[in-house]
Amino acid sequence: MKKISVLIPCYNEEENVVPISEAVIGIITKELPQYDYELVFIDNDSTDKTRELLRMLCAKNPKIKAIFNARNFGQFNSPYYGILQVTGDCVISMVADFQDPVELIPKYVHEWENGYKIVIGIKTSSKENPVMYWLRSCYYKLIRKLSDVEQIEHFTGSGLYDRQFIEVLRNLNDPTPFLRGIVAELGFKRKEIPYEQPKRRAGKTHNNFYKLYDAAMLSFTSYTKAGLRLATFFGAFCGGVSFIVAVIYLIMKLLYWDRFMAGMAPLLIGMCFLGSVQIFFIGLLGEYIMSINTRVMHRPLVVEEERINFDTPVGAQEEV
């Protein structure tokens, strides 16, 4: 009997962990009775009652497992690390707030049975804030045009990943993994399942502006060279324009020495413009340097505090 692993990352999801566990187990036992399963929660240092509820769930059902992180390691490292800890023949990753519909699980598995190593969900629409959905659409289109790797629009990371692809992820040894980009760049032939993203069942979203910006910059610095090349081209263009303007001003002053007043305005405007351009691209360069620095330090993806219902205790798990 093959085993399906379902991975659910969570952070302060006390209102959702019990309902999502019941929904996932219910749909697997009802529609996929031929498969064994495990349900793995990886908690990113929740401060509410999430961990207390997870302990209760694990005590009632040994097929429910939990990993408690020592601190919050971010929205990318924690799910990626969780994928590497499952024991099933495939893993299905989905969020705890029901924005990845559990009804997708049988569809994922059906396409997996047809031979696809990767089956992912693609949002065709969303019941969330329409402005945010539009902004995300613009971002996806921009990054797709700039990236050397064809990026997947409206892919949040939810999907099914075969054991073979999990081994690919394990061998990457990347301390700042961006799963959405990795699937596009290194993944097997994939099947895309469209769905409409529902609203959160309960609780508040944890995706503030800073986290969304962090996700965007991680994707931008990992999969595009456009920023650095834009800085080079724009710097060369501004330098050329400045040189031409300087030559014109010199000629005008020489020809009309008494009548042509150069004044301070052009000088100040040019200095402010070039200074702002330099500061912008120094900041952009800093984003690339931060990304490189994080990879060079080679820190662990996650440090575990506790794991429940696993065969191996904390510290004995395979290092990733």
Task: Tell me the C-alpha distance between 187 and 181, whole Å.
Answer: 9
Instruction: Tell me the torsion sign for CA atoms 278, 280, 282, 288.
Output: negative
- Helix or strand run (H / E) with residue 252: helix 226-255
Q: What pLDDT score does 319 carry?
A: 44
Task: Tell me the C-alpha distance between 313 and 90, whole Å.
Answer: 22
Whole-number mean pLDDT of the chain?
Answer: 80
Task: Tell me the pLDDT band of 204, cut-offs 50, 70 and 90.
Answer: low
Q: What pLDDT score does 225 carry?
A: 63
Q: Is the pLDDT of residue 84 over 80?
A: yes
Q: Between residues 208 and 302, which one has the greater pLDDT?
A: 302
Question: Whose CA is closest to 92, among 24, 46, 177, 45?
Answer: 24
Length of the chain measured in residues: 320
Task: Tell me the C-alpha distance between 163 and 175, whole Å.
Answer: 20
Task: Tell me the C-alpha distance between 159 and 108, whole Å.
Answer: 7
pLDDT in tens, 259-277: 766 666 666 667 777 777 7
Q: Between residues 286 and 172, which one has the greater pLDDT?
A: 172
Q: Is the pLDDT of residue 283 over 80?
A: no
End-to-end CA distance of the chain: 28
- For residue 281, give the 3-state DSSP assignment: helix
Is 123 within 8 Å of 140 (Cβ atoms)? no
**Percent of all residues in the chain with a pLDDT value above 70, rounded to a whole number:** 73
Is 162 within 8 Å of 120 (Cβ atoms)? no
pLDDT in tens, 95-135: 988 888 999 999 999 999 999 999 999 888 777 666 666 77
Q: Between residues 175 and 162, which one has the greater pLDDT?
A: 162
Task: Tell me the pLDDT band of 198, cut-offs 50, 70 and 90.
Answer: confident
pLDDT in tens, 166-197: 998 888 877 778 788 888 878 788 999 998 88
Strands 304-308 and 64-69: antiparallel
**Percent of all residues in the chain with a pLDDT value above 90, rounded to a whole number:** 37
**What's the distance, CA 180 to chain centroid?**
6
Q: 1 Cβ partners below 8 Å, 6+ apart?
A: 34, 35, 36
Q: Is the pLDDT of residue 165 over 60?
A: yes
- For residue 8, give the 3-state DSSP assignment: strand
0.85 exceeded by the pTM?
no
Q: How many CA atoms lie within 13 A of 150 on its CB side?
A: 1
pLDDT in tens, 138-147: 776 766 666 6
Q: What pLDDT score does 25 carry?
A: 95
Q: What pLDDT score does 182 carry?
A: 84
